[in-house]
Structure 1
Amino acid sequence: MYKYDDYDQQLVDERVAQFRDQVNRRLSGELSEEEFRPLRLMNGVYLQLHAYMLRVAIPYGTFNSTQLRQFAYVARNYDKGYGHFTTRQNIQFNWPKLVDIPDILNDLSKVQMHAIQTSGNCIRNTTTDQYAGAAFDELEDPRPWCELIRQWSTMHPEFTYLPRKFKMAVTGASSDRAAVAVHDIGLRIRRDDQGELGFEVMVGGGLGRTPMVGKTICEFLPKEDLLSYLEAILRVYNQFGRRDNKFKARVKILVHEIGAETFANLVEKEWEHIRDGALQVSSEEIDSLRSYFAPPAFEKLPSLSAEFAEKVGSDQEFAYWVQNNVREHKQQGYAIANISLKPIGGIPGDISHVQMDALADMADKFSFGEIRSTHEQNLVLAHVKRSDLYALWQGLKEQGLATPNSGLITDLIACPGLDYCALANSRSIPLAQRISERFGELDRQHDIGKIQIKISGCINACTHHHVGHIGILGVDKKGQEFYQITLGGRADEHAKIGKILGAGFSTDEIVDAVETVINTYLSLRENSEETFLDAYNRVGDTPFKEALYGAR
């Protein structure tokens, strides 16, 4: 994985010193909260309902055991003993004291971590496939390109004050696990007719109050042109994006209002001036970045392990975990292990400092010291010998991290909601816990099959409820918490915005409403192999509406 050079470290260290001075001036009263607000946001510090929150960047979701131990240290010494992983592959600390945040950032800088550009109207953390470099369906590891984008975009003087926040994602696989179509810019590595690798470029995706799927404005972009083309897109957005209304300031609104073709023409016109300049990516430069993401020292192993097969056959609990949480690896004899942060009745995405320390040890022992964070608020050990899976599972089980529900109904996604967030209309965490408990029985989860439930406490859609198979949006109705249901969304290579079914449900009604949706699906599916999405696309929303609203 990438390691800071002297320039990176100097930049982060200087930012820590700068922010320490800004915090001291705020605490002394020299700066008002209004004056301090843009400064703290540039350093990932939010003011929530009860306390400040610090969002720490995990570039493209890849970090190491040393960094995880430092997260544990921060949680233990500055917070309430836990961290929260987000859908942007970052980690948040919900209870730091403002006076301590410069010290936290200084401690994080020692392990090459920071909070720069995790908030504010700038280019945010570029995300990617959590299985990058391990996925069997991958054309190319996208992380070197994400790192290139990170270096180009960090504190870019022209794009520090954009009309609104700006998010990018890159995927290198045929299965889109990075949700590229619902980003401001989505990049998909693909081959042209001559077999050369380049990028399909999508612009104008995004969720929030106006959910949209991105439009392809370039079918195939040569690799060497990536940065100049991105720069042209950002220049067009910076020039024409609306600044008079923050609700209409995202690039998706610009693309929608002028049309994708017109937007693409503006980009091409801007691109002409910079295409052959200093932003051209040389093969030497990208090869240098690739060297940081070279495959680890894999051993030559047989595809089948007799010991592994024996454990699967003799231990049903382990077999369930393998069935749900283990994915195919491109290297023979290895596997990808998904670590669920969704224990039944737990808080999605939360992990304690004790669990972090233990998982860091397991990463060192079983996965070359590397960990990944996911868009689903889970973690991944990407390079585990199949013969080590049983020992890994035992260690995870001891720490409460072996819940075998990856991709199942209890692997739901939820934002902090009204328990923490000043923007929220409703509580998300208690609802997630209740749904998890309602469907917690494992045989029932298996009967239901693969399904995604995503819960957002407000229209900002931090958990991407619009693209959940079942999306739940908390709304305020005359001072009461209600929940609106959408069906049929998806964030993969066939991205689609879910459809609102009808009126919302009260706190007391919503879990029963979700169960009604599930029972309707089970009664309609043609066989046990037909997934929720396939059944919904076949029958439409009418049966679900009738089941939910027929008796109301």
Structure 2
Amino acid sequence: MQTSGNNMRNVTSDQWAGVAPGEIEDPRIWSEIIRQHTTLHPEFSFLPRKFKIAITASEHDRAAIKVHDIGLRLHKNADGETGFEVLVGGGLGRTPFIAKTIKPFVSGRDILSYIEAILRVYNQYGRRDNIYKARIKILVHELGIEKFAKEVDEEWKAMGDVGLTLDHAAIEEVRSRFSYPAYEKLPHMPDELKQAANDPLFERWRKNSVFPHKVQGYSIVVLSLKPVGGPPGDATAEQMDAVADLADKYSFGEIRVGHEQNLALPHVAKRDLPALFKALDRLGLATPNVNLVTDIIACPGLDYCSLANARSIPIAQELTRRFANHDTADLIGRLHINISGCINACGHHHVGHIGILGVEKNGEEFYQITIGGRADENAQLGTLIGPAVPYAEVADVIEDIVEAYLALRDRPEELFVDTVKRLGVEPIRERVYATR
């Protein structure tokens, strides 16, 4: 929305919104309410810099709210009222920050006025003299979260009743626009699924790519766009035509896109999973690597982007070949690799479990590597593991990092990020750079 302007851009939620078990409520309703209010808002059409909001309603944050200008977490207070924890000042790029909580609870009826108060403070104090210091994350960092929160609270009180309080009817009017499929009453374990369990290829895909749905008898299916040796996140026109047909047949015509650069079919009956798997396998879209080491996020890099300093796609392709063995990937477990070809961080390398940043040194491509980052409810920035390495050595270093993790984890279930958190960077750095 409003691309290229210094104004409100996207208001996003996660790709499982409305169907994920355990959600407080459907966050898309609130995303739409905020989008309607902020798009083409005359007071905020010339902010110091672009502005993005993300909303989650689940315990596990798939919307990456802590790396947005404003992050909103739906929850209920002690009185059972639905509202938002409000976080401010997240962002990546050349100066990354994790958002901080500015208000533990703002009721749903007051969320528009509170967001306006934040935007007014940002509009007044945000830097317009330096594009590199113009984002709200810099203002929050320079003022401090306590001072920024005080300014917002004072502005919020001074606004008084400006007609932004949301009544029940207004919320329900937007809610009525979000229709849900005509779900059937289906068994939890249909015969089709029991029979397909004898197929090891189907079972590997099911355990990796199929996730719980809030309605019994249905599943959320993630389609991996990360084939071995292929550009991550790519799909051909023919594949997308076919996926659209499969969505019509198996997911009530709905396809969703996540920031992990994969697709999701949010309403698949469990009885249809075997047939869907066969169709996806024929299309090359049944790679069982969702959330594993080859499910890599990468920007276009130097191959396609004039801002980039180094290539991203060939690094990702080589890593998928190095870790192509599915048994090895399962042994490693959940591990996210994110690659950016420049400091603008379009590949979100700062919050990758392993982050790879391309830099230029004397006309050659080098790569800085960080470990321990994450973008979920426990979001944190990765830590630089050592000196930048040349293009030809990147895949070797990543292999060494993974081998160090496998040797250092205290049990098979301990995830890479948990091992890094427990031990710190140094034990892994020692193993990786010992022979370099």
Shift of 1:527: 2.1
Show the 5 A alignment for 1:143-158: 143-158=28-43
Contact 2:336 2:354 in 1 (8 A): yes
Q: In structure 2, how many angstroms separate the alpha carbons of the residues matched to 1:118 and 1:444?
A: 42
Conservation of the 8 A alpha-carbon contact between 1:455 and 1:471: yes
**1 CA distance for matches of 2:351 and 2:228?**
23
Task: Give deviations 1:389-414, integer Å, cap 9, x for gaps.
Answer: 11111111121111111001110100
Is residue 228–residue 275 contact of structure 1 (8 Å, CA) maintained in 2?
no
Matched with 2:8 is 123
Q: Any conservation in 1 of the 2:192–2:274 contact (CA below 8 Å)?
A: no
Q: Paired residue for 1:373, among 239, 246, 257?
A: 257
Partner of 1:267: 152
Three-state SS of the structure 2 residue aligned to 1:167 is: strand
C-alpha deviation, 1:289, in angstroms: 1.3
Contact 1:168 1:185 in 2 (8 A): yes
Deviation of the 1:200 alpha carbon? 0.4
Letter in 2 for 1:329: H
Alignment of 1:101-500 (within 5 A): 116-312=1-197, 314-500=198-384
Which amino acid in structure 1 is aligned with residue 254 of structure 2?
E
Are 1:546 and 2:401 matched, yes or no? no
- How far does residue 301 in structure 1 lie from its aligned partner after superposition? 1.0
**Paired residue for 1:40?**
none
RMSD: 1.1
SS in 2 for 1:422: coil
> Contact 2:68/2:99 (CA < 8 Å) preserved in 1?
yes
User: For residues 250-287 of structure 1, what are the alpha-carbon distances to aligned partners after superposition, in whole Å with 9 as ceiling and x for unaligned?
Assistant: 10110010111111111112212435222222211111
CA distance in 2, matches of 1:537, 1:266: 35
Q: How does 1:62-73 map to 2 (within 5 A)?
A: none
For residues 345-381 of structure 1, give each alpha carbon's deviation from its aligned partner in whole angstroms, at most 9, with x where no partner exists.
1111111111111111111111111111001001100
| Partner Cα separation in structure 1 for residue 119 and residue 255 of structure 2 | 31
**Which region of structure 1 is more displaced relative to structure 2, 527-536 or 424-433?**
527-536
8 A Cα contact 1:329 1:335, kept in partner:
yes
1:468-514 Cα offsets, whole Å, 9 max, x none, are 10011111111111010101011111111111112111000000000
Corresponding residue SS for 1:125: strand
1:304 partner amino acid? M
Taking the aligned partners of 1:274 and 1:324, their CA distance within structure 2 comes to 50
SS at 1:126 equivalent: strand
Q: Report the TM-score when normalising by structure 2.
A: 0.98
Distance 2:305 2:109 in 1: 42
**Partner amino acid for 1:487?**
I
Q: Structure 2: how far apart are the matches of 1:410 and 1:273?
A: 51
Please give the secondary structure, in 2, of the residue aligned with 1:364.
helix
Contact 2:367 2:390 in 1 (8 A): yes
Contact conserved, 1:418 with 1:425, CA < 8 A, in 2? yes
CA distance in 1, matches of 2:290, 2:435: 34
- Partner Cα distance (1:195, 1:132) in 2: 21
Offset from partner CA, 1:285-305 (integer Å, 9 cap, x none) = 111111222331111111111
Letter of the 1:151 partner, please give it.
Q
Partner Cα separation in structure 2 for residue 349 and residue 150 of structure 1: 27
**Partner amino acid, structure 2, of 1:171:** T
Secondary structure of the residue aligned to 1:231 is helix
For residues 160-208 of structure 1, the C-alpha deviation after alignment (integer angstroms, 9 at most, x for no partner) is: 2221111110000011011101110000001111111100000001111
Aligned partners of 1:121 and 1:163 also within 8 Å:
yes
Asked if 2 retains the 8 angstrom alpha-carbon contact of 1:137 and 1:175, the reply is no
Give the counterpart letter for 1:306 in structure 2.
D
Cα pair 2:404 2:432 within 8 Å, conserved = no
* Greater shift in the superposed pair: 157-166 or 501-510: 157-166
TM, length-normalised to structure 1: 0.78
Distance 1:309 1:381 in 2: 21
Deviation at 1:551, TM superposition (A): 2.0
Paired amino acid for 1:146: S
The answer to whether the 8 Å contact 1:483/1:506 transfers is yes
Q: Deviations over 1:12-36 (max 9, x none)?
A: xxxxxxxxxxxxxxxxxxxxxxxxx
The CA distance in 2 between the partners of 1:434 and 1:405, in whole Å, is 15
1:41-98 per-position Cα deviation (integer Å, ceiling 9, x unaligned): xxxxxxxxxxxxxxxxxxxxxxxxxxxxxxxxxxxxxxxxxxxxxxxxxxxxxxxxxx
1:33-112 aligned within 5 A? none
Q: Distance in 1 between matches of 2:268 and 2:4?
A: 34
Q: Distance between the aligned counterparts of 1:155 and 1:420, measured in 2?
A: 31
Contact 1:229 1:275 in 2 (8 A): no
Tell me the SS of whatever aligns to 1:244: coil
* Matches of 2:412 and 2:18, distance apart in 1: 33
Deviations 1:399-450 (A, max 9, x none): 1111111001110100001111111111101111111111111111111111
Shift of 1:307: 1.7
The answer to whether the 8 Å contact 1:225/1:275 transfers is no
Contact 1:144/1:289 (8 A) holds in 2: yes
SS at match of 2:222: strand
| Aligned residue type for 1:121 | N
SS at match of 1:208: coil
> What is the CA deviation profile of residues 513-549 of structure 1, one whole-angstrom value per residue up to 9, with x for unaligned ones?
0000000001111221111112111221112111222
Partner of 1:70: none
Aligned position for 1:535: 419
CA distance in structure 2 between the aligned counterparts of 1:496 and 1:317, rounded to whole angstroms: 35
1:74 match: none
Deviates further, 281-290 or 180-189: 281-290
**Residues in 1 aligned to 2:299 and 2:169: alpha-carbon distance in whole angstroms:** 41
Q: Which amino acid aligns with 2:78?
A: D
Q: In structure 2, what is the Cα distance between the partners aligned to 1:172 and 1:276?
A: 28
Please tell me the residue identity of whatever aligns with 2:88.
Answer: V
Structure 1 letter corresponding to 2:140? V
Aligned partners of 1:346 and 1:433 also within 8 Å: yes
The whole-number CA distance in structure 1 between the counterparts of 2:275 and 2:106 is 45
